[in-house]
Amino acid sequence: MLNLDYEEDLRGRRFAFAGGFVGWPSFLEGGGPEEHVRQRGGVVVGRVDDAQYLVVGRKAKKGRAQAVKQAEKLRAKGVGPRPLSESELVHLLRPRLAGRSFLLAGGFSTGLDLDGPAALVTAAGGRVASATDAAVDFVVVGGRRAKGKAEALRRIEELRERGVRFQELDEETFLALLACVGGPESARFDARALAVQLRTLADPKKVERAIQMLKRESFQLYNEVQATSLAGVVRSQSQEDGFYACWIEDDGRYACFDGQVEACWGQSGGLCKHVLVLLLGLAVKGEIAPRRAYAWANAAASRRPVDAKQRSAELVLRYRGAIAGEVDWRPSETVPEDYYTL
C-alpha cells in the first residue's frame, strides 16, 4: 500500500452506501470503499436518515433505488444526506500531492506522451523531477521507449543503491492517482484531466485510439451541442469517404452508426472511439465544458448502446447535405498540436 497523506479528514463523518462499485482505484489497496472510509476514521451506517453522505454506486444492487428515493425525500425537507457518486467518493479520499516530486521515465503504453503525464503532475500541484535530482517521492516507468528513458533508469538505480526511499508506480496506478486528485470536483478539471478520467469510464485502449486520431491529423467535427446531449459526425481515418454519426445524452443513452446506418462495431463493451473523439475534440477546443463531457461519459459507462437508427440517420442526411453545400452546418476544426499533452 502506498504511503500517502490525504486532503480530507473523514473522522466522525457518517456514510451510507447504495449500489455496487464498478471500479476502484488500484492505489487504494487492502479493501473496498466501505473499508477505506472506516480506515480513515469515517463511520459506515446502515440507515439513510442517519448518514451525512449517501454513496451511490453505478452497479445495481438490492435496495439501491429505495435508498436514493429516501435520500431525495429527506433532502426536499432540508435534512437529507449529500449524495456522492463513485468518482465523488474517490475524490473525497484523494491524497495530497502538492509538493511531491515525480520522476517520469519512458513512454506510456496508454498513448500518453511524457508531456501529458508531466502536465497532469503539475496540475495536481506536484513537481516533475529530473534525472539529476538527489531525491524523489515517486518513480513512474512507462513501458515504451522514449527520449531520456535510459538515463532516467540509470538514475533510478543509483538512487536505489544509495538507499534513497521512493515509491514506484506503474502506469495504471499513476493514472488512477492523478484521476483521483484531478476529478470532476476539482477546480482544475480541464481537458487533460478529462482524458485521464475517460480511461476509468471506457476501455483505455479506445480512449488511446481516440487521442491518437486527434493527434494524427486535423478533423472537421460536425456537431450539435444541446442542453442535454451531444451529436456529431466523425470522419473515418481508415476508409476513404467513410464516417460515423454518433450521439450521447445526459441520461447515458448513446449510439454510433456509419454512413450506411449500420451499427459501429466499436460499441462492443461500451463507448466507441468516435464518441470519445467528439467528447475530447470539443472539450480541448472549449466548445463543451470538460465536466459536462465527463458527466455524459459517466452516465453512459454502465449502459449498452441503444439501437436507435433514426437519430443517426438524420445526422447522416444532414452531413451529406453539408458536404454538398446544400445545408448550412459549420464544423469545428481540430489541430493535432492541441492534443499532444493529452
Confidence category of residue 105, pLDDT binned at 50, 70, 90: confident
Weakest mean pLDDT among 107-121, 133-147, 280-294, 326-340: 107-121
Q: What is the mean predicted confidence (pLDDT) over 61-74?
A: 93
C-alpha span between 93 and 7 (Å, rounded): 8
Predicted local confidence at residue 29, as pLDDT = 66
Tell me: the pLDDT tens digits for 232-282?
999 998 888 899 999 999 999 999 999 999 999 999 888 999 999 999 999
**Residue among 94, 98, 167, 89 at smallest CA distance from 135:** 167
Q: Do domains 14-92 and 101-181 have the same CATH topology?
A: yes
Q: Report whether pLDDT(114) > 60.
A: no
Confidence category of residue 303, pLDDT binned at 50, 70, 90: confident
Q: Report whether pLDDT(99) > 60.
A: yes
- The CA-atom distances, in angstroms, between 71 and each of 18, 20, 53, 76, 166 are 11, 17, 10, 9, 44
Predicted local confidence at residue 318, as pLDDT = 96
Starting at the edge strand that comes first in sequence, how are the strands of the sheet with 101-105 ordered?
A: 127-128, 101-105, 138-141, 167-169
- The CA-atom distances, in angstroms, between 334 and each of 2, 127, 166, 328 are 39, 30, 40, 19
Assigned CATH class of 101-181: alpha beta
Assigned CATH class of 14-92: alpha beta
Q: Report whether pLDDT(115) > 80.
A: no
Higher pLDDT among residues 303 and 329, named by residue: 329
pTM of the model: 0.71
Confidence category of residue 152, pLDDT binned at 50, 70, 90: confident
Q: Which are the contacts of 290, defined by CB distance < 8 A and separation ≥ 6? A: 184, 189, 190, 191, 193, 194, 283
Confidence category of residue 328, pLDDT binned at 50, 70, 90: very high
Q: For the chain, what's the residue count?
A: 342
Q: Report whether pLDDT(208) > 90.
A: no
Highest mean pLDDT among 78-82, 113-117, 182-186: 78-82
Tell me: the pLDDT tens digits for 30-61?
678 999 999 999 999 999 999 999 999 888 88
Tell me: the pLDDT tens digits for 125-138?
889 988 788 889 99
Confidence category of residue 221, pLDDT binned at 50, 70, 90: very high
Predicted local confidence at residue 332, as pLDDT = 95
Residue 281, all three cell numbers: 475534440
Element (H, E) at 234: strand 229-235
Confidence category of residue 179, pLDDT binned at 50, 70, 90: confident
Question: Mean pLDDT in the chain?
Answer: 88
Q: Give the residue extent of every domain in the chain.
A: 14-92, 101-181, 202-339
C-alpha span between 263 and 309 (Å, rounded): 8
Predicted local confidence at residue 234, as pLDDT = 96
